[in-house]
Amino acid sequence: MTLDLSEGLEGIRRNLGNPDYHGSRFLVTGGAGFLGTWLCSFLVKQGADVLCLDNLSSGLRENVSHLEENPRFSFILHDISEPIHFRQNIDYVFHLASRASPLEFDKFPLEIIRANTLGTMHALDIATEHGARLLFTSTSEVYGNAGIFPTPETYHGNVHTLGIRGCYDESKRLGEALCLAYLREKGTDVRIARIFNTYGPLMRADGVYGRVIPRFISQALNGEPMTIFGDGSQTRSFCYVTDQVEGLLRLLYSDSAKGEAVNIGNDKELAILSLAELIRSATGSSSGFNFEPLPEDDPVRRWPDISKATRLLQWRPKVNIETGIASMIQKG
C-alpha cells in the first residue's frame, strides 16, 4: 500500500463521509505550513472557500501554489500576532499558526509566544465577531515530560517553564486557557486539538525546521550519518498526516466537542532508535548512526491515550508507520 497527496485527500474524504463544504468559508492561520497545506488542499477540493493566512515564517508559499488559481482560495500574507479584520463572513477558523520544531524554540521564542497568545486572541476575536467555530491546534507538549502513560487529557502536565521548550509549551497552554476564557466570557464556540507528533509528505527536512522523520529520511537517502540524540531510547508516537487531518476535521465538526481538549495522535509508541533502524531499512541505506547529546528537556516518553477521540469523534488512526514512511520515501 502506498499513499500520495491526492490519494491521501481522497482517503480523508472517504473516511469522513461527505459533509457539505460548499458555501462555507474557512480561515486557516498557518495555512501554508505542513498541516495547514493539507487542510487547505482538502477544503478547497471539497468546495469550501478558504482564506489561507500565513506570515511564511516556517510555512512556504510554494506549498499552496497549486491552489492559487482556484477562485475559492485566497492567500493572505499576514502575521496573526497582529490584529486583522475580514469583511467576508467566516464560518470556521482553524488556528494553526506557530513555529513547531524544537530547533526553532531556541532561535524564535518571542515569535512563538506571540503567535500562540496574541495570535490566538486575534483568531478568537475573529471567530467571536463572525460567530464562527474555532479549532485551536494545541500540542502534546502541554503535558511536558509526562508522568502518566498513555497520557489522557485529564493529566495536567509537567512542564519546565524556564527550559528551552517553555516558550512553546507555556504559550500553547495559555492558548488553551484563552480559548476557554472566550467560551466562558463571550460564548465563542471553541475546541482544542492536542496534536501528537505528526509526519507525512510536505513536512520540511531542512535546517531548524526539520523534525525527526524527515531528517532521518533525508540523511538515510543521502548516505549521511543519522543523528540520534541521546541513546535513542526516548519514545514518540507518530501519526500519519491524513489520519491527523481527518481527526482535526472530525473535531471541528463535532457538536459535542465545544470547550473540549482532545488528544489527536497515533497510539503506537516507538523508540527513536527503532525509528532510525526502520527508516534505514526502508530506504535500503547503509548510513551509520551518530549519537549526539540529548537536547535539554527532550521528553522521555510520549504516548497518547486516544480513547476520548475514539469515543467523541469515532476516530482512530489507520496508517501504520511502515506505510507512512514508505509514502514519504517515494516523495523523495
Catalytic residue list: 168
Write each residue from 267 to 286 as x if it is in contact with ligand UDP (CB under 6 A), else as -, in one continuous string. -----x--------------
Per the rule left: phi > 0, alpha: psi between -120 and 50, beta: everything else, 105 is alpha
Q: Which of residues 93-122 bind ligand UDP (CB under 6 A)?
A: 102
- The distance of closest approach from Cβ of residue 116 to ligand UDP in the complex, given in angstroms and rounded to an integer, is 15
Q: Is 197 in the site for ligand UDP (CB under 6 A)?
A: yes
Nearer to ligand UDP, 145 or 234 (CB): 234
Nearer to ligand UDP, 119 or 214 (CB): 214
Q: Which stretch binds ligand UDP (CB under 6 A): 76-84, 121-129, 229-237, 261-269?
A: 229-237
Q: Which stretch binds ligand UDP (CB under 6 A): 84-92, 109-117, 200-208, 222-230?
A: 222-230
Q: In angstroms, what CA-CA distances link 129 with 77, 85, 132, 145?
A: 21, 9, 8, 37
Q: Is 321 in the site for ligand UDP (CB under 6 A)?
A: no
Instruction: Judge contact between 238 and 270, C-beta under 8 A.
Output: yes
Grid coordinates 505550513 are at which residue?
Answer: 33
- Gyration radius (Cα) of the chain, Å: 19
Q: Which of 25, 236, 280, 308 binds ligand UDP (CB under 6 A)?
A: 236
Print the SS3 string covering 25-67: EEEEECCCCHHHHHHHHHHHHCCCEEEEEECCCCCCHHHHHHH
Q: CA 27, CA 18: separation in Å to the nearest integer?
A: 20
Q: CA 152, CA 166: separation in Å to the nearest integer?
A: 21
Nearer to ligand UDP, 211 or 308 (CB): 211
Residues making contact with ligand UDP (CB under 6 A): 102, 197, 211-212, 215, 227-229, 234, 236, 272, 295, 298
